[in-house]
């Protein structure tokens, strides 16, 4: 028997047409992937190209700017008390210099713990830590000395360094040499002095503001109390006999971080971790003052 297959031809053609239609979008998608990842950018169809910016170039992804450093544009002078070389230059450091209202020795060797850890070594260590912390906040930091000179500088030159830098704040780092049982820190502020070449009129107020903030933050960072032998428990002491303060024309304070001659305080001052806390407290005080 003869079978007429002509009725099956259209059906086969329909299946082929459907298969071909399905291949078109798949091929187009594959071509687009190649064009984006491998092919030249000009081969992309208009609808697949990045939207142009105002100048015709593709828009870049937005970048969030970094927040400004809190102390950017500020200058801080750190004055590490004494100098490790002072011990070898007694004649030079005993020369008298003008401190504005009278004369005083150029510098001293400073004190030390009973075990021989010197104030000069302590002040440099804390000053280096303080410098790092302030630079991390964007401040420009100047040291009056970094054991990079035979002795000194003399107290009048220390003041001039801060003045020449037009410092926003100056901190002189020290440790005290009082008697056993006298414990704690204190911050020395300039008194109102006007005579000879000294005139602290313009810095008394700002220096007190700086000193109050340093005292507060130092206590918080170190967990130590204000001195029990000076300042009436406030942690603040006002003096008119220090050339470094009398000759300053910018806000300046001294920080006596503790008493090296007391065994309990000495245990703190010789501890590396505690010195980092001390630097952190001073830095926080300076930063708070400069940002107020």
| Residue range 74-118, pLDDT digits in tens | 999 999 999 999 999 999 999 999 999 899 999 999 999 999 999
Q: What percent of the chain has pLDDT over 70?
A: 79
More confident residue, 262 or 28: 262
Q: Is the pLDDT of residue 21 over 60?
A: no
What are 235-245's pLDDT values in tens digits?
999 999 999 99
Tokens representing residue 252 in the block: 């300046």
CATH code of the domain occupying 75-291: 3.40.630.40
155 vs 64, more confident: 155
Question: 110 exposed, middle or buried (CB, 10 Å; 0-12, 13-18, 19+)?
Answer: buried
User: For residue 7, what pLDDT is reported?
Assistant: 41
Using 50, 70 and 90 to split pLDDT, how confident is the model at 60?
low
Question: What is the value of pTM for the model shown?
Answer: 0.79
Look at residue 57 in the predicted model and tell me its pLDDT.
54
Nearest to 96 by CA among 83, 86, 85, 107: 107
What is the rounded average pLDDT of the residues 139-163? 98
**In the predicted model, what is the mean pLDDT of residues 50-60?**
55
Per-residue model confidence (pLDDT) at position 66: 74
Q: Say yes or no to pLDDT of 53 above 70.
A: no
Q: What is the DSSP letter of 231?
A: G
Rounded mean pLDDT of 42-64?
A: 56
Please, are residues 241 and 194 in contact by the beta-carbon 8 Å criterion? no
Active site residue ranges: 256
pLDDT given for residue 17 in this prediction: 43
**CB neighbours of 88 closer than 8 A, spacing ≥ 6?**
150, 151
- Mean pLDDT computed over 287-291: 98
Q: Where in the chain is the domain with CATH 3.40.630.40?
A: 75-291
Q: What is the pLDDT of residues 34-52, one digit of tens each?
A: 444 444 444 445 554 555 5
- What span, in angstroms and rounded, lies between the C-alpha atoms of 194 and 202? 11
State the pLDDT at residue 61: 60
pLDDT in tens, 123-146: 999 999 999 999 999 999 999 999
Sign of CA dihedral 147, 148, 150, 155: negative
CB atoms within 10 A of CB 225: 12
Burial track 137-175 (b if 16+ CB lie within 10 A, e otherwise): bebbbbbbbeeeeebbbbbbbbbbbbbebebbbbbbbbb
**Six token digits for residue 116:** 């021989």
């Amino acid at each position: 028997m003869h079978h007429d297959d002509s009725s099956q031809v259209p059906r086969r053609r329909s299946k082929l047409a459907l298969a071909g239609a399905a291949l078109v979008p798949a091929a187009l998608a594959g071509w687009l992937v190649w064009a984006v990842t491998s092919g030249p950018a000009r081969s992309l169809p208009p609808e697949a190209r990045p939207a142009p910016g105002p100048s015709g170039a593709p828009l870049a992804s937005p970048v969030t700017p970094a927040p400004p450093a809190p102390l950017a544009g500020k200058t801080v002078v750190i004055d590490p008390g004494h100098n490790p070389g002072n011990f070898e230059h007694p004649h030079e450091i005993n020369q008298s210099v003008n401190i504005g209202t009278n004369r005083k020795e150029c510098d001293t060797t400073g004190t030390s713990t009973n075990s021989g850890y010197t104030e000069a070594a302590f002040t440099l260590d804390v000053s280096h830590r303080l410098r790092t912390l302030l630079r991390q906040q964007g401040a420009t930091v100047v040291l009056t000395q970094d054991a990079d000179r035979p002795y000194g500088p003399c107290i009048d030159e220390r003041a001039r360094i801060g003045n020449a830098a037009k410092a926003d704040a100056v901190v002189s780092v020290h440790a005290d040499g009082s008697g056993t049982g006298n414990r704690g820190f204190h911050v020395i502020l300039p008194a109102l002095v006007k005579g000879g070449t000294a005139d602290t009129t313009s810095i008394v107020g700002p220096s007190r503001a700086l000193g109050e903030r340093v005292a507060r933050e130092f206590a918080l960072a170190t967990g130590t109390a204000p001195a029990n032998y000076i300042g009436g428990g406030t942690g603040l002491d006002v003096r008119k006999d220090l050339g470094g303060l009398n000759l300053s024309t910018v806000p300046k304070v001294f920080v006596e971080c503790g008493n090296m001659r007391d065994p309990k305080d000495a245990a703190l001052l010789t501890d590396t971790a505690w010195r980092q806390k001390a630097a952190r407290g001073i830095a926080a005080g300076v930063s708070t003052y400069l940002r107020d």
